């Protein structure tokens, strides 16, 4: 036992001395060492920042769509975002009809109810939609015509007021529920409910104010900019609006069955035979999130490849630095060997120098990634891009391994130098 303790103590002393020599060597050549780790820093920053951004966006997207209801199925005449510009082929698709809601709810045994969302174009008659209220105005608004049950179907909480009633929808009453951003832009810290709202030159009465939505893109949720008006009112006032989204709410735990029923019913309502493909799109929150994950995985692979190239360049730079270091310190190596240093100790010293050099680049890269995340949090409150701990750990390991691989050749060369020849070196 005592022998083991003495051996462990000896190795500990050797390790401390080797570490001291390695840091001393790096401090003696700060400029050369700094230039050597640039590639490592770039590679680590790239992979950590991109991974952090993808993780943050993915979490926000998942929260965004799950907030619309995990039991909901979204039906739309074309794939993609209802607010995005359609392709020429998609633009030819006939929109869904509000009259489909009743047969879906009545014929689908696993369908609980159906909500309607009519997308009003942001530009009407050649001019952008404008909202005025409280002495202020805003053109960064979205207008949607919705059914009375839309707020319940999409789990939209109201901070103040109430949603529409069935009577208000049937009578096409000019009432509105405004999003959190709209309320703040027009009325500041005051309540929006009970106030008049001028929308596209027409007066509405605000009956409700939506609570801030969760999720979104970089802390921004589009639904916070929405002015929701009754579906019938939107159809009456905005003839250009024809993009209709059906929110099909399934019975609890029966979403997959409800989706199959909805597809069969919509195919029948759209007059499709067995040979024709669907001319509408059905999706769920999980499908949208999975699609985003596939895109993220592809971006992640490209990022890892770019980071690998940067680490390779950094490794080459570190290897060059270590070759120069071995050449410059040949006499030092000879002296150490002459006074009893073993080949393994010399090998360990230069490997440690290389690992410290590369590891320093990894630490700097991670610090820069954290600084970027903090700046992004200031620019986009509510969005988190802090690097996940597994990514930080993997980046550190990758940087140290890069140093070990890059420094192995020069370190082995240093350890293999005969002491007598090393002492003769000038």
Q: Read off the pLDDT of residues 267-326 as tens digits, 9 standing for 90 and up.
A: 999 988 888 888 888 888 777 777 777 777 777 777 777 777 777 777 777 787 777 777
Highest mean pLDDT among 13-22, 82-91, 255-264, 406-415: 255-264
Count the Cβ atoms, other than its own, within 10 Å of residue 422.
20
The answer, yes or no, to whether residue 339 has pLDDT greater than 80, is no
pLDDT confidence band for 178 (50 / 70 / 90):
very high
Mean pLDDT score of the chain: 80
The answer, yes or no, to whether residue 90 has pLDDT greater than 60, is yes
The predicted-structure confidence for 49-82, as pLDDT tens digits, reads as follows 888 877 777 776 666 666 666 778 888 888 777 7
pLDDT confidence band for 215 (50 / 70 / 90):
low
Residue 23: predicted pLDDT:
62
Residue 20: predicted pLDDT:
66
Distance in angstroms (rounded) separating the CA atoms of residues 21 and 14: 11
pLDDT confidence band for 212 (50 / 70 / 90):
confident
Residue 422: predicted pLDDT:
53
**Residues making up the chain, counted from first to last:** 426
> What is the sign of the dihedral through the CA atoms of 269, 274, 280 and 286?
positive
Answer yes or no: are the C-beta atoms of 356 and 409 closer than 8 Å.
no
Q: 52-61, 141-150, 192-201, 349-358: which has the minimum mean pLDDT? A: 52-61
pLDDT confidence band for 173 (50 / 70 / 90):
very high
Distance in angstroms (rounded) separating the CA atoms of residues 350 and 324: 12
Residue 318: predicted pLDDT:
76
Answer yes or no: are the C-beta atoms of 162 and 134 closer than 8 Å.
no
Residue 197: predicted pLDDT:
93
Q: Which has more confidence, 123 or 4?
A: 123
Residue 61: predicted pLDDT:
66
Q: Which has more confidence, 410 or 211?
A: 211
Of 102, 153, 86, 150, give the one whose Cα is nearest residue 266: 102
134 backbone φψ class: left, alpha, beta (φ>0; ψ -120 to 50): left
Q: Which has more confidence, 346 or 253?
A: 253
* Proportion of the chain above pLDDT 70, given as a percent: 82
Highest mean pLDDT among 233-242, 311-320, 414-423: 233-242
Contacts 24+ apart (CB under 8 A), 381-387: 381/219, 382/216, 382/219, 382/220, 383/56, 383/60, 383/218, 383/219, 384/56, 384/59, 385/49, 385/52, 385/53, 385/55, 385/56, 386/52, 386/56, 387/48, 387/49, 387/51, 387/52
pLDDT confidence band for 255 (50 / 70 / 90):
confident
Of 95, 71, 78, give the one whose Cα is nearest residue 281: 78
| Mean pLDDT on 120-135 | 84
The answer, yes or no, to whether residue 156 has pLDDT greater than 70, is yes
Distance in angstroms (rounded) separating the CA atoms of residues 18 and 352: 8
| Mean pLDDT on 3-9 | 51
Residue 121: predicted pLDDT:
86
| Residue 201, CA distances (Å) to 240, 317, 388 in order | 16, 66, 49
Distance in angstroms (rounded) separating the CA atoms of residues 310 and 45: 10
| Mean pLDDT on 331-358 | 74
């Amino acid at each position: 036992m005592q022998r083991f303790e003495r051996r462990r103590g000896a190795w500990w002393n050797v390790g401390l001395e080797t570490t001291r020599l390695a840091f001393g060597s790096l401090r003696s050549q700060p400029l050369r060492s700094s230039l050597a780790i640039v590639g490592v820093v770039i590679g680590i920053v790239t992979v950590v920042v991109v991974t952090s951004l993808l993780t943050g966006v993915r979490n926000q997207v998942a929260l965004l769509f799950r907030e619309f209801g995990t039991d909901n199925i979204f039906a739309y005449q074309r794939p993609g975002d209802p607010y995005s510009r359609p392709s020429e082929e998609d633009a030819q698709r006939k929109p869904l009809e509000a009259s489909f809601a009743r047969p879906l709810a009545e014929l689908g045994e696993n369908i609980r109810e159906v909500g309607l969302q009519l997308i009003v174009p942001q530009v009407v008659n050649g001019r952008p939609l404008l909202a005025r209220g409280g002495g202020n105005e805003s053109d960064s608004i979205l207008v949607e015509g919705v059914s009375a049950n839309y707020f319940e179907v999409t789990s939209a909480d109201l901070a103040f007021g109430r949603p529409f009633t069935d009577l208000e929808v049937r009578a096409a009453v000019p009432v509105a529920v405004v999003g959190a951003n709209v309320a703040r832009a027009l009325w500041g810290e005051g309540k929006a409910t009970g106030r008049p709202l001028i929308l596209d030159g027409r007066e509405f009465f605000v009956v409700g104010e939506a609570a801030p939505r969760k999720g979104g893109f970089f802390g921004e949720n589009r639904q916070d900019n929405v002015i929701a008006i009754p579906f019938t009112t939107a159809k009456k006032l905005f003839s250009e609006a024809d993009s209709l989204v059906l929110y099909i709410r399934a019975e609890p735990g029966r979403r997959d069955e409800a989706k199959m029923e909805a597809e069969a019913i919509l195919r029948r309502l759209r007059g499709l035979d067995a040979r024709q493909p669907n001319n509408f799109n059905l999706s769920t929150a999980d499908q949208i999130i999975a699609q985003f994950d596939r895109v993220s995985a592809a971006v992640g692979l490209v990022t890892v490849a770019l980071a690998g190239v940067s680490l390779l360049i950094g490794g080459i730079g570190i290897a060059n630095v270590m070759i120069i270091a071995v050449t410059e310190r040949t006499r030092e190596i000879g002296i150490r060997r002459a006074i009893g240093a073993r080949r393994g100790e010399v090998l360990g010293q230069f490997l440690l120098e290389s690992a410290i050099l590369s590891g320093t680049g990894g630490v700097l890269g991670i610090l820069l990634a954290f600084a970027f995340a903090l700046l992004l949090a200031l620019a986009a409150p509510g969005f988190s891009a802090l690097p996940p701990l597994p990514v930080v750990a993997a980046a550190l390991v990758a940087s140290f391994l890069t140093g070990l691989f890059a420094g192995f050749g020069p370190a082995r060369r240093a350890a293999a130098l005969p002491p007598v020849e090393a002492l003769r070196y000038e």
